[in-house]
């Protein structure tokens, strides 16, 4: 067992990491800050194993850069936070998602078409990773691949998708309908056999996002009840 190793790569997906990094960006912008300040921005009271692990993940993705006494949000992360949907933002996201050396090697080896999970697991174990570590790597890597695919396919540019009718047209007032310029789709890997997609149309406000979160939470509760009911039958 002495020659087996744990992964030197993030234990969280890029999507989760980039949203964690957003809290740092909102508070520090691009100003350098000490690691203890970064930890506080992320919600930790002090430097700990958990805070160091999260900061390490943000650094591996290239969301944060610099030394422990002068860390800052990277240019790629700023591009992701500030740019409208488009090629430049997509490229910045792809660079960060596969910046960890192991993910870069896997993408070079397998391309953007993911092989079977057994194939990936065998490849990682041959590289002396522990089986549990290999499973964690595969989970995160597949989420990043799915996100990259969603970024590339979800952006519609200037082309409108007016033929797609909202599920409940009554919630879209006529004044808002004129502002609908396209469709943005975000994909999330839930498991090897399940995936979710979130589509947004028009100009979304912070108030819209708060309402959307409430709708999603209610939907998740309803789905959980149905799944529990079906499993008990």
**Is 121 within 8 Å of 134 (Cβ atoms)?**
yes
Predicted confidence at residue 66, as pLDDT, reads 92
Band (14; pLDDT cuts 50, 70, 90):
very high
**What is residue 119's predicted lDDT score, i.e. its pLDDT?**
93
User: What distances in angstroms separate CA 75 from CA 93, 148, 189, one per listed residue?
Assistant: 11, 19, 27
Residue 4 has pLDDT above 70, yes or no: no
Residue 64 structure tokens: 């944060």
Looking up tokens 């065998």 gives 122
Q: What is the pLDDT of residues 83-115, one digit of tens each?
A: 988 889 989 999 999 999 999 999 999 887 788
Q: Given this model, what pLDDT does residue 177 score?
A: 35
User: Is the model's pLDDT at 159 over the cut of 90?
Assistant: no
Cα–Cα distance, 177 to 173 (Å, whole number) = 6
pLDDT above 80 (res 78): yes
Gap between the Cα atoms of 80 and 59, Å rounded: 15
pLDDT at 43: 94
Q: Is 0.85 surpassed by the pTM of this model?
A: no
- Residue with the larger pLDDT of the pair 175 and 3: 3
For residues 41 and 135, give the distance between their C-alpha atoms in angstroms, rounded to a whole number.
30
């Amino acid at each position: 067992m002495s020659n087996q190793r744990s992964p030197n790569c993030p234990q969280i997906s890029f999507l989760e990491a980039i949203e964690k990094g957003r809290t740092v960006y909102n508070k520090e912008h691009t100003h350098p800050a000490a690691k203890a300040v970064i930890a506080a921005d992320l919600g930790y009271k002090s430097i700990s194993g958990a805070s160091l692990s999260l900061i390490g993940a943000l650094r591996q993705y290239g969301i944060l850069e610099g030394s422990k006494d002068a860390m800052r949000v990277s240019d790629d992360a700023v591009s992701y936070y500030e740019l409208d949907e488009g090629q430049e933002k997509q490229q910045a996201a792809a660079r960060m998602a596969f910046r960890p050396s192991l993910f870069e090697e896997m993408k070079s080896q397998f391309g953007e078409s993911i092989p079977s999970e057994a194939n990936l697991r065998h490849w990682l174990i041959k590289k002396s990773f522990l089986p549990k570590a290999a499973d964690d790597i595969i989970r995160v890597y597949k989420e990043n691949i799915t996100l990259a695919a969603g970024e590339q396919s979800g952006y519609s540019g200037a082309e409108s998708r007016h033929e797609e009718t909202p599920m409940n047209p009554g919630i879209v007032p006529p004044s808002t309908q004129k502002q609908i310029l396209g469709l943005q789709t975000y994909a999330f890997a839930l498991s090897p056999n399940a995936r979710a997609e979130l589509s947004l149309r028009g100009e979304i406000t912070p108030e819209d996002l708060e309402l959307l979160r409430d709708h999603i939470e209610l939907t998740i509760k309803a789905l959980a009840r149905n799944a529990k009911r079906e499993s008990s039958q």
